[in-house]
Amino acid sequence: SQQGEEDPQALSIQEGENATMNCSYKTSINNLQWYRQNSGRGLVHLILIRSNEREKHSGRLRVTLDTSKKSSSLLITASRAADTASYFCATGGSNAGGTSYGKLTFGQGTILTVHP
Amino acid sequence: SQTIHQWPATLVQPVGSPLSLECTVEGTSNPNLYWYRQAAGRGLQLLFYSIGIDQISSEVPQNLSASRPQDRQFILSSKKLLLSDSGFYLCACSAYGNTIYFGEGSWLTVV
């Protein structure tokens, strides 16, 4: 079954507005990551938040993590047309023999459209 | 930082034909390597992962296989393609942590 589930499935906003995407997961995690994918391209890593962190910032991105609710949110402030893409949360990270092999489980993604 | 080269970028293959997608990684050694498939631009499904040469785990039963003949080379293969093998295939790697870096992907259409 899918571990991460994004909400909403699609989001359409105007340039300058903030975009908030949510992710819920089912099992305990070591970390949660957000990725971005432009249409027909590979995924680009945005930010990683560890299970002992509650909030993290990177430029216009703000990620929160609530392990008690098993949920995370990605906020993009002052959105731009270039932010149009699909955004995925991914959960995982476990240690095997002392080596983290970073196996991730991805959600279905949120398609963000930012209109100029 | 890691750079992932993946090819071919697109291919159209007839049903029953073989497949070989290649992936090489630069900028790191002894990476963990992955093959993902993405259908209809939605979520990713992990197909194979490898923690070392000739050490490959399959996540789902399927018509595909993977090989890692060298530390930074990962190959996805099939002897006979099915229509259902069509999709977007992504090679990825990680090292020293949980962040995974992706290649640009390969579009496979089986006709």
Could you tell me the residue ranges of all domains in chain A? 5-95+103-115
pLDDT band at B62 (very low <50, low <70, confident <90, very high): confident
What is the distance between the alpha carbons of residues A67 and A56, in angstroms, rounded to a whole number?
14
Half-sphere exposure of B51 (CA within 13 A, CB side): 13
Contacts of A109 in chain B (CB under 8 A): 41-43
**Domain A5-95+103-115 maps to which CATH number in 2.60.40.10, 3.40.50.620, 2.30.30.100, 3.50.50.60?**
2.60.40.10
Task: Answer yes or no: CATH 2.60.40.10 is held by domain B3-110.
Answer: yes
Least confident among A36-50, A74-88, B38-52 = B38-52
Contacts of B104 in chain A (CB under 8 A): 41-42
What is the distance between the alpha carbons of residues A93 and A12, in angstroms, rounded to a whole number?
32
Q: Compute the average pLDDT of residues B8-29.
A: 95
Q: Compute the average pLDDT of residues B1-26.
A: 95
Q: What is the mean pLDDT of chain A?
A: 88
State pLDDT tens for residues B78-94.
Answer: 999 999 999 999 999 98
Could you tell me the residue ranges of all domains in chain B? 3-110
- Is residue B49 predicted with pLDDT exceeding 80? yes
B104 in A contact zone (CB under 8 Å) = yes
Instruction: Please tell me the predicted confidence (pLDDT) of residue A97.
Output: 37
Q: Compute the average pLDDT of residues B87-103.
A: 87
Give the mutation candidate from A106, A110, A111, A113 for the B interface (greatest B CB count, under 10 A). A106
What is the distance between the alpha carbons of residues B11 and A33, in angstroms, rounded to a whole number?
31
- Asked if the Cβ–Cβ distance from A106 to B105 is below 8 Å, we say no
Q: What angle do CA B74, A88, A49 make, to 5 degrees?
A: 95
Contacts of A92 in chain B (CB under 8 A): 98
B31 in A contact zone (CB under 8 Å) = no
Per-position b or e across A47-76, b if 16+ CB within 10 A of its CB: bbbeeeeeeeeeeebbbbbeeeebbbbbbb
